[in-house]
């Protein structure tokens, strides 16, 4: 029988989706499953998105330009102009979600065996995307005990080798909710300049900020035009995950032209998604403020509920809509499966993402889970009650 490539066999299953069969079985058994495993917002997608598609009046659904339609590239450039830096449409490549943007970037900057330094825990797909391009994720470990604070400059420099090509952060962070301020970015800027590295920033959750730390875009860093590559998406910002519209933004012309060739090979990003996205970038600031207010309330409910549970450690959460939480269990994956298979409270159970899949270091995160607080407050409160009762039952 023909063999699958060895590097493909090493790809990990997604901790976010691997327990779906257990959730499906729970639903088939009549349970209601509260999904806290996946960052799927329940905020209504702006009607302007759908109106743009309905009013498109297309006779032929044709390929779009490989770099994306010009009006959308211009809108994204204007958006980044509002948050600080001077960006033009020529710096914007539209992609099929932020996932494709990152895959393009890794493919462009990594030769087999090259390394990307990432703080762990990190968004699990970073590892898969890097492995797909025969690269290696090198983790710098953070801890729930100090709210996943940025490690020292020395901790980063200890990880740098001749194969290091980039440092990557998510700001605000998926999965920890940490926001990195300007002084933090300045530290990473100095490392990138000193060692001639790319600085890749995933800025998908920019508007989801609840504390005092307002993370700036890495594109505001001076003297970093050749180093900075930003990954972004409309999925979370406009509650349009299914549109599959993301982008990469960089002033590095070689990176842009290299990724454009990859975009040409895949032909074009989704046309309908681009038409809708072009309109939502014109939404007023009140839209973003309303969404942030809603998630701030959910964050507060989640944090207060978890803090009341014996043995649970929940860090401070300043942004995004996730929390990386330590539970009083030895194996969170076993606990998550048990909740779906064997537990219910008033007909309800909860699906979460086991924490180990967000770490590259073997053995870390084994008693942690990532919780996505993407449910309305009523459902989130029910989910927290269910989790509290489940921990009592599991540990008895």
* Class for the domain spanning 47-280: alpha beta
Task: Count H helices and E strands in the chain, helices first.
Answer: 13, 12
The reply to whether 6-44+286-395 and 47-280 are identical in fold is no
Q: Looking at the DSSP assignment, which residues form a beta bridge with residue 250?
A: 229
pLDDT at 254: 98
- Alpha carbon distance 351, 388 (integer Å): 13
- Identify which of 177, 245, 243 has the alpha carbon closest to the alpha carbon of residue 205: 177
Residue reference for tokens 């030769």: 111
Q: Quote the DSSP letter at residue 89.
A: G
Is 147:315 a contact under the CB 8 Å cutoff? yes
C-alpha distances (whole Å) from 124 to each of 46, 179, 277, 378 are 28, 18, 26, 29
Query: How long is the chain?
Result: 396
- Alpha carbon distance 332, 338 (integer Å): 10
Instruction: Write out residues in the chain with pLDDT < 70, as ranges.
Output: none
pLDDT at 219: 95
pLDDT at 277: 98
C-alpha distances (whole Å) from 350 to each of 35, 36, 307 are 6, 7, 18
Tens digits of residue pLDDT in 11-26: 888 878 889 999 999 9
Helix (H) / strand (E) element for 230: namely strand 228-233
For 92, phi then psi, to 5°, come to -115, 125
Please say whether the dihedral angle defined by the alpha carbons of residues 92, 96, 100 and 104, taken in this order, is positive or negative: negative
CA atoms within 13 A on the CB side of 315: 27
Please say whether the dihedral angle defined by the alpha carbons of residues 207, 208, 209 and 215, taken in this order, is positive or negative: negative
Tens digits of residue pLDDT in 376-396: 999 999 999 999 999 999 998
Q: Quote the DSSP letter at residue 345.
A: B
pLDDT at 5: 85
- Alpha carbon distance 311, 332 (integer Å): 13
Residue-wise DSSP of 113-135 = T-EEEEEES--THHHHHHHHTT-
- CATH topology assigned to domain 6-44+286-395: 3.90.1150
- Alpha carbon distance 100, 245 (integer Å): 9
Q: Per-domain residue ranges for the chain?
A: 6-44+286-395, 47-280
pLDDT at 246: 98
User: Does residue 281 sit in helix, strand or coil?
Assistant: coil
This prediction has a pTM of 0.96
- Alpha carbon distance 25, 362 (integer Å): 30
Residue-wise DSSP of 239-272 = T-GGG--EEEEES-HHHHHHHHHHHHHT----HH
Q: Looking at the DSSP assignment, which residues form a beta bridge with residue 350?
A: 34
Q: Looking at the DSSP assignment, which residues form a beta bridge with residue 319?
A: 209
Residue reference for tokens 């998926």: 174
pLDDT at 130: 95
pLDDT at 294: 97
């Amino acid at each position: 029988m023909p063999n699958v490539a060895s590097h493909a066999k090493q790809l990990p299953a997604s901790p976010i989706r691997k327990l779906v069969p257990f959730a499906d079985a729970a639903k088939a058994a009549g349970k209601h499953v509260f999904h806290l495993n996946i960052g799927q917002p329940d905020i209504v997608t702006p009607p302007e998105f759908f109106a743009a598609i309905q009013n498109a009046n297309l006779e032929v659904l044709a390929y779009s330009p490989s770099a994306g339609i010009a009006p959308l590239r211009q809108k994204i450039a204007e958006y980044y102009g509002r948050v600080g830096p001077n960006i033009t449409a020529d710096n914007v490549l539209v992609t099929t979600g932020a996932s494709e943007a990152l895959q393009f970037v890794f493919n462009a900057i990594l030769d087999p065996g090259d390394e990307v330094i990432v703080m762990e825990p990190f968004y699990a797909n970073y590892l898969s995307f890097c492995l797909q391009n025969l690269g290696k994720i090198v983790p710098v470990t953070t801890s729930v005990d100090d709210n996943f604070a940025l490690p020292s400059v020395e901790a980063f420099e200890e990880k740098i080798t001749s194969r290091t090509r980039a440092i990557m952060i998510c700001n605000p962070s998926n999965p920890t909710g940490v926001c990195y301020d300007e002084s933090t970015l300045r530290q990473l800027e100095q490392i990138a300049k000193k060692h001639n590295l790319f600085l890749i920033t995933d800025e998908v959750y920019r508007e989801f900020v609840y504390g005092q730390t307002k993370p700036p875009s890495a594109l505001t860093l001076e003297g970093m035009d050749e180093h900075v590559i930003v990954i972004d998406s409309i999925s979370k910002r406009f509650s349009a995950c299914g549109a599959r519209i993301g982008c990469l933004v960089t002033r590095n012309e070689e990176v842009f032209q290299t990724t454009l060739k990859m975009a040409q090979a895949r032909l074009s990003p989704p046309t309908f998604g681009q038409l809708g996205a072009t309109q939502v970038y014109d939404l007023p600031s009140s839209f973003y403020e309303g969404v942030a207010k809603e998630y701030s309330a959910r964050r507060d409910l989640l944090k207060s509920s978890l803090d009341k549970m014996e043995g649970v450690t929940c860090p401070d959460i300043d942004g995004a809509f996730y929390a990386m939480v330590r539970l009083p269990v030895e194996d969170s994956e076993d606990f998550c499966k048990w909740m779906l298979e064997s537990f219910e409270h008033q007909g309800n159970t909860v699906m979460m993402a086991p924490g180990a899949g967000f770490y590259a270091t073997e053995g870390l995160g084994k008693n942690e889970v990532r919780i996505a607080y993407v449910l309305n407050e009523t459902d989130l409160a029910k989910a927290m009650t269910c989790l509290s009762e489940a921990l009592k039952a599991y540990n008895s």
